[in-house]
């Protein structure tokens, strides 16, 4: 009976410690100026080992990026740590999940200020427009264990920053009526995040970069072109995705399809692919879309210029939603509608050689 009471007492004590650890520090929220900004600020700073003192301010307004501010009282050096007036420095926030959020745009003489949208992660690649939302989500779920400003480290092992920032965000959402910039608090205090993947409730988005074109590729037994690119897709794990290249003549007019092989429903030329994202943040460093030259339905032998654009589609919704569209890109190739593959060898139909000769010397 005695042992059971001791165990029960230990459970109560542990529960009390965890409860206290999960609570936000007391802070105050007040309206700032006439532009709709609200500021949430710790009422009392946190003493860490009687050496360094930390404080946080989170400032927001409807439709505006969230501003984070940190105060660091560096008692070892007799004053507040700051960045020289008029300059911007590098600040890193080390989180309890092992992630590091970094900005090179921190500044301030007393409070070190930065925009949440300027914070990037060392674990995942987030489109710039979603960085602020993602950073706030991570800060609401994971404690800050260390702050590094311009190379100088300040450890914060007992800082209950996650619960405090979460409570501040809830207050700002209530006061501003805008929750679009503050991320979200996970149902568990330890949501899983692995290298190369982001939380499952991040905004759906996509981007394309590093586009190049490889010509005279063999595509289903015919010569054609392959478009190479880096593809980044967020929030689409296990969902239907489409990446389609649409083709135009050199004047920007959509090419007409003639045989319903590479085509859109309105009978224009395109090449459709359907990748399968296996992560919440999926990256293809060398994604490819191909099309035979013959399927562009361009008449005449000779050098031809076509333009293309690529659209990333979310096919989970009806109608499909455009996630990203590139600009029109021009490329030139040698067109020969008579080019065939016969028993694995390239052949030209009668008359093509003469057309090629005149085409080459005309250019």
pLDDT tens, 182-223? Answer: 877 654 333 333 333 444 567 899 999 999 999 999 998 889
The string over 284-320, giving b where at least 16 C-beta atoms fall within 10 Å of a residue's C-beta and e elsewhere, is: eeebebbbbbbbbebeebeebebbbbbbbbbeeeeee
Rounded to 5°, angle at Cα 251 from 246 and 254: 30
**Environment class of 258 (CB within 10 Å of its CB; exposed 0-12, middle 13-18, buried 19+):** exposed
CA dihedral sign of residues 123, 129, 130, 136? positive
| Closest residue by Cα to residue 335 from 286, 289, 300 | 300
Residues in the chain: 363
- Decide: 341 and 329 in contact? Cβ < 8 Å: no
Pick the CATH number of 205-362 from 2.40.128, 2.30.110, 3.30.1490, 2.60.40: 2.60.40
From first to last of its 363 residues, the chain has per-residue pLDDT tens of 555 555 454 444 444 433 334 577 888 888 887 678 888 888 666 655 555 667 788 888 877 888 888 877 665 555 556 666 556 778 899 998 889 999 887 776 667 888 888 888 888 777 766 788 888 888 988 888 888 887 778 777 677 888 888 888 888 888 887 766 787 765 433 333 333 344 456 789 999 999 999 999 999 888 999 999 999 999 898 899 999 999 999 999 999 999 999 999 899 999 999 998 888 888 898 999 999 999 999 988 899 999 999 999 999 888 999 999 999 999 999 988 665 544 444 444 444 444 444 444 444
Distance of alpha carbon 80 from alpha carbon 59, whole angstroms: 21
Q: What pLDDT, on a 0 to 100 scale, did the predictor assign at position 7?
A: 45
| Closest residue by Cα to residue 138 from 198, 219, 222, 90 | 198
- Specify the DSSP element, H or E, that contains 169: helix 161-176
- Decide: 203 and 323 in contact? Cβ < 8 Å: no
Distance of alpha carbon 315 from alpha carbon 318, whole angstroms: 7
* Rg, C-alpha atoms of the chain: 29
State yes or no: cis peptide before 319, omega within 30 of 0: yes
Structural domain spans, the chain: 21-176, 205-362
Distance of alpha carbon 71 from alpha carbon 55, whole angstroms: 5
- Decide: 146 and 154 in contact? Cβ < 8 Å: yes
Q: Which two tokens stand for residue 45?
A: 């700073």
Partners of 340 in the β-ladder: 347
3-state secondary structure of 58: strand
């Amino acid at each position: 009976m005695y042992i059971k009471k001791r165990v029960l007492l230990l459970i109560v004590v542990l529960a009390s410690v965890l409860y206290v650890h999960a609570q936000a520090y007391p802070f105050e929220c007040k309206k700032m100026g006439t532009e709709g900004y609200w500021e949430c600020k710790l009422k009392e700073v946190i003493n860490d080992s009687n050496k360094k003192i930390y404080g946080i301010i989170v400032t927001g307004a409807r439709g505006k990026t969230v501003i984070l501010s940190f105060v660091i009282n560096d008692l070892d050096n007799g004053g507040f740590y700051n960045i020289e007036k008029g300059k911007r420095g590098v600040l890193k926030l080390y989180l309890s999940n092992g992630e590091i959020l970094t900005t090179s745009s921190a500044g301030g003489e007393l409070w070190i200020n930065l925009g949440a949208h300027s914070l990037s992660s060392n674990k995942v690649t987030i489109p710039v427009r979603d960085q602020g939302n993602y950073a706030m989500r991570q800060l609401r779920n994971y404690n800050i264990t260390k702050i590094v400003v311009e190379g100088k480290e300040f450890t914060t092992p007992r800082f209950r920053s996650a619960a405090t920032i979460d409570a501040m965000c809830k207050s700002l959402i209530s006061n501003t009526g805008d929750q679009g910039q503050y991320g979200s608090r996970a149902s568990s205090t330890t949501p899983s995040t692995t290298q190369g993947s982001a939380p499952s409730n991040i905004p759906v988005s996509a981007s394309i970069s590093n586009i190049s074109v490889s010509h005279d590729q063999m595509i289903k037994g015919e010569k054609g072109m392959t478009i190479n690119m880096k593809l980044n897709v967020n929030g689409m794990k296990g969902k239907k995705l489409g990446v389609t290249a649409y083709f135009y003549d050199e004047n920007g007019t959509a090419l007409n399809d003639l045989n319903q092989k590479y085509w859109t429903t309105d009978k224009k030329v395109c090449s459709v692919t359907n990748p399968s994202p296996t992560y919440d943040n999926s990256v293809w460093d060398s994604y490819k879309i191909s099309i035979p030259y013959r399927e562009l339905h361009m008449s005449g032998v000779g050098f031809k210029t076509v333009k293309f654009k690529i659209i990333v589609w979310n096919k989970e919704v009806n109608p499909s939603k455009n996630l990203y569209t590139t600009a029109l890109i021009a490329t030139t190739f040698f067109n020969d509608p008579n080019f065939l593959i016969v028993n694995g060898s390239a052949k030209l139909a009668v008359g093509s050689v003469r057309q090629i000769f005149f085409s080459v010397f005309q250019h």
